[in-house]
Amino acid sequence: MSSEGLQTQSSGEISVSKRTKTKNKQRWVDRFQVLFLSVLAILILLPIFYMISMSFRTRREIMMDPLGLPSSLLIENYQKVAEAMNYGTSIFNTIFITASVIVLVSILSSLAAYPLARIRHKLSTWLYILLTLGLVIPPFAGLTPLYLFMRDLGLLNSYLGLIIAYTTLNLPLGVFFYTSFMKSVPIELEEAARLDGASYLKTYWYVVLPLLRPITGTLGLFITLTVWNDIVYPLLFVTDDSKYTIMVAVVRFLGTYSIDPTQLFPAAVLASAPLLILFMLLQKQVVSGITAGAVK
Amino acid sequence: MRGLDRRYWFVLPALAIYLVFMIYPLFSGVSLSFTTFSGVGEAKWTGLDNYQTIFTDSVYLKILSNTLIYSAFVVVFQNGIGLAIASMLNGLPKVRSLFRTALLVPSMVSLVIAGYVWQYLYSPLGGGLNEALAALGLKSVQQIWLGDPSIALIAVAAVHVWMYIGYSAAIFLAGYAGISSELQDAARMDGATRWKRFRFIEFPLLAPALTVNITLATINSLKSFEFPYIMTGGGPDGATMTLGLKVIKLLFNEYKFGLAAALSVVLIVMVASIGLVQNAYLRRREDRI
């Protein structure tokens, strides 16, 4: 409508109609791109859909028609699998360990980040580099000695051992997140608190810590992903299956080269559902966490 | 000691735990790598024997090359496709966040679960991929994806790419958000084509995002072991055995702790040196731009 109106206005007739043409062309390009991206997104999401769909099907259904949809929302598969892999216990273990690690990492690394972000000094730079070096060290780098060490400390087969291991693993991430976040927060509030006679510890507790709340959510989410996804530490440190975390429970239940779909898919859905739900609820934090280091 | 800021005390708890449970094991791993330790008894000092095995034994050379091929495939395709998606989404503000979310879903199912699901998808016995190809009339394209030594490694790496395309795209999109829209409009007004705008304006300005993406993908793919662990166990015929998986196997199945430690050292040195060289190059490239 508006473009037609414009065209009748004599003076810039040619250039305006040309612009309308390119605009129209652009609209078609956009539409084509949306279509292309939709197809791509569907293809990428198809395995997830396949996983959920297969989890409700009986062995017979799968044999007859490998790509078919479930004829009913059969939960018998789920009941059997949940029982066999001790779902309740392993979920509880995972949540308990995750929560402990989040609390420990956020306290330890925010304490460390306070001086590292605020002191401009060679020592603080070196400490920062040392502490964040762990970001690039593969977790199983010191695995053998860590195992022997845990054994000597009597921490095998205990929650405490896993909590310590995951806390250490996530400390570099915490220090990195908090330090870079604190650098973006104005220092004036802290200085005001200091002028009012607050000790450094009080300043940290009452001024710094509350400021860090937004980034703590993102950090917590990343810690959750690490703990839920890891299988190395529990496989190595834990032999008592009542202390397994969820992914190890899945690996122990399915084994490797598992091909029984009525076990594989319900177990896959059960194990990934909590994370997928968390993602749906906290999309914004996930995206901001992923992109934290991307823009200088 | 007057000079030292008292706030340094705050670093101590984190530093102590980090030194005891991360740095100390790392160094004692290095000393363990010069021995043949099997978990019990005395560790026997054998000097560089373990390293000699790793760099001369054809089994280990295959593992090194597998790891590098896997990593190169992941870095190129994950970031290439991620960048293409991001550059399309950048021009489509209405659907941008919907697609970003949808594409991130695979990275939220854990590596273990993705491994299991794809192992079944790849299966020659009623697996989803071959069945879907048959349904599309592409029976000739069917493969024994994980059983054929010539394609198994790429099949496994493709799952890694599938999982993290959205991750890569999200980071590139954040990079795009940092490019001023005036600049892009100006280029459009000047009649620059889509490709020219990408090549000469967007791509150079995406440098920080590219650095982050390449570094992350390199580190993650070099140390990854979950997919071959779940999907192939390193087979067929060692075709998918990666460094990370071999460390795990040496520890859990073969009880060669000394050799495992040596291989871990090789892996760390590899990750660190590739990471450093890449980062130095990419940062310098950023500064030039």
pTM: 0.86
Same domain for A270 and A144: yes
Same domain for A272 and A131: yes
Of A219, A202, A200, A205, the C-alpha closest to A118 is A200
Same domain for A94 and A20: no
User: What letter would DSSP give residue B43?
Assistant: P
Is A54 contained in some domain? Answer: no
Is B26 contained in some domain? Answer: no
To the nearest whole angstrom, how far is the Cα of A104 from the nearest Cα of chain B? Answer: 10
Q: What is the CATH number of the domain that holds B258?
A: 1.10.3720.10
Is B11 contained in some domain? Answer: no
Sequence-distant (6+) residues with CB within 8 A of A24 are none
Same domain for A198 and A124: yes
Is B20 contained in some domain? Answer: no
Residue from the list A44, A51, A130 with its beta carbon closest to the beta carbon of B117: A51
The DSSP H or E segment spanning B61 is helix B58-90
CB B218 within 8 A of CB B164: no
Same domain for A119 and A20: no
Same domain for A158 and A97: yes
Is B18 contained in some domain? Answer: no
Same domain for A216 and A91: yes
Is A295 contained in some domain? Answer: no
Predicted local distance difference test score (pLDDT) of residue A110: 92
Predicted local distance difference test score (pLDDT) of residue B133: 86
Same domain for A196 and A116: yes
Residue B272, Cβ density class (10 Å: 0-12 exposed, 13-18 middle, ≥19 buried): middle
Residues spanned by the domain of B206: 34-288
Count up the domains in chain B and report the number.
Answer: 1
Is B146 part of the contact surface with chain A (CB cutoff 8 Å)?
no
Once rounded to an integer, what is the mean pLDDT over residues A110-133? Answer: 87
Question: How many Cβ atoms sit within 10 Å of the Cβ of residue A111?
Answer: 25
Question: How many Cβ atoms sit within 10 Å of the Cβ of residue A293?
Answer: 18
Predicted local distance difference test score (pLDDT) of residue A180: 85
Predicted local distance difference test score (pLDDT) of residue A18: 62
Residues spanned by the domain of A165: 81-290
Please list every residue in chain B whose beta carbon sits closer than 8 Å to the beta carbon of residue A266: none
Predicted local distance difference test score (pLDDT) of residue A16: 58
To the nearest whole angstrom, how far is the Cα of A79 from the nearest Cα of chain B? Answer: 19
Task: State chain A's mean pLDDT as an integer.
Answer: 83
To the nearest whole angstrom, how far is the Cα of A162 from the nearest Cα of chain B? Answer: 12
Once rounded to an integer, what is the mean pLDDT over residues B78-93? Answer: 91
pLDDT band, very low/low/confident/very high, at B160 (cuts 50, 70, 90): very high
Distance CA A77, CA B126 (A): 19
Segment B17-47, tens digit of pLDDT:
999 998 888 888 888 888 887 777 777 788 8
Predicted local distance difference test score (pLDDT) of residue B27: 86
Residue from the list A138, A247, A261 with its beta carbon closest to the beta carbon of B110: A247
pLDDT band, very low/low/confident/very high, at B81 (cuts 50, 70, 90): very high
Residue from the list B24, B92, B175 with its beta carbon closest to the beta carbon of A294: B175
Same domain for A93 and A40: no
Predicted local distance difference test score (pLDDT) of residue A2: 43
To the nearest whole angstrom, how far is the Cα of B210 from the nearest Cα of chain A? Answer: 8
Q: What is the DSSP string of A120-147?
A: -SHHHHHHHHHHHHTTTS-TTTTHHHHH
Is B155 contained in some domain? Answer: yes
Helix then strand then coil, in percent of chain A rounded to 5, is: 75, 0, 25
Segment A11-26, tens digit of pLDDT:
445 555 666 666 777 7
Please list every residue in chain B whose beta carbon sits closer than 8 Å to the beta carbon of residue A128: none
Distance CA A253, CA B110 (A): 16
CB B164 within 8 A of CB B217: yes
Is B127 part of the contact surface with chain A (CB cutoff 8 Å)?
yes
Please list every residue in chain B whose beta carbon sits closer than 8 Å to the beta carbon of residue A68: none
Once rounded to an integer, what is the mean pLDDT over residues B39-63? Answer: 83
Task: State chain B's mean pLDDT as an integer.
Answer: 86
Is B25 contained in some domain? Answer: no
Predicted local distance difference test score (pLDDT) of residue B14: 92
Is A68 contained in some domain? Answer: no
SS3 B44: strand
39-68 of B, contacting A, C-beta below 8 A:
none
Predicted local distance difference test score (pLDDT) of residue B19: 92
Q: What is the CATH number of the domain that holds A197?
A: 1.10.3720.10
Nearest CA in chain A to B274: A136
Q: What percent of chain B has pLDDT over 70?
A: 98
Of A137-141, A283-287, B158-162, the range with the highest mean pLDDT is: B158-162
To the nearest whole angstrom, how far is the Cα of A241 from the nearest Cα of chain B? Answer: 17
Q: What percent of chain B has pLDDT over 90?
A: 29
Is B180 contained in some domain? Answer: yes
Is A69 contained in some domain? Answer: no
Nearest CA in chain A to B6: A200
Amino acid found at B16: A
pLDDT at B67 over 90: yes
Count up the domains in chain A and report the number.
Answer: 2
Interface contact B170-A290, CB threshold 8 A: yes
To the nearest whole angstrom, how far is the Cα of A195 from the nearest Cα of chain B? Answer: 16
Same domain for A88 and A9: no
Predicted local distance difference test score (pLDDT) of residue A11: 46
Interface contact B17-A127, CB threshold 8 A: no
CA distances in angstroms from A283 to A218, A242, B97, B102, B216, listed in the order given: 10, 32, 10, 10, 21
pLDDT band, very low/low/confident/very high, at B129 (cuts 50, 70, 90): confident
Residue from the list A34, A111, A258 with its beta carbon closest to the beta carbon of B13: A111
Segment B204-255, tens digit of pLDDT:
888 888 888 898 898 889 888 889 999 988 878 888 999 989 988 888 888 8
The pair of three-digit structure tokens given for residue B207, joined into one six-digit string: 């440098």
CB A266 within 8 A of CB A55: yes
pLDDT at B272 over 90: no
Q: Is the peptide bond before A115 cis (omega within 30 degrees of 0)?
A: no
Lowest mean per-residue pLDDT among A48-52, B217-221, B255-259: B255-259
Predicted local distance difference test score (pLDDT) of residue A4: 42
Please list every residue in chain B whose beta carbon sits closer than 8 Å to the beta carbon of residue A289: none
Segment A245-262, tens digit of pLDDT:
999 999 988 886 667 888
Same domain for A204 and A261: yes
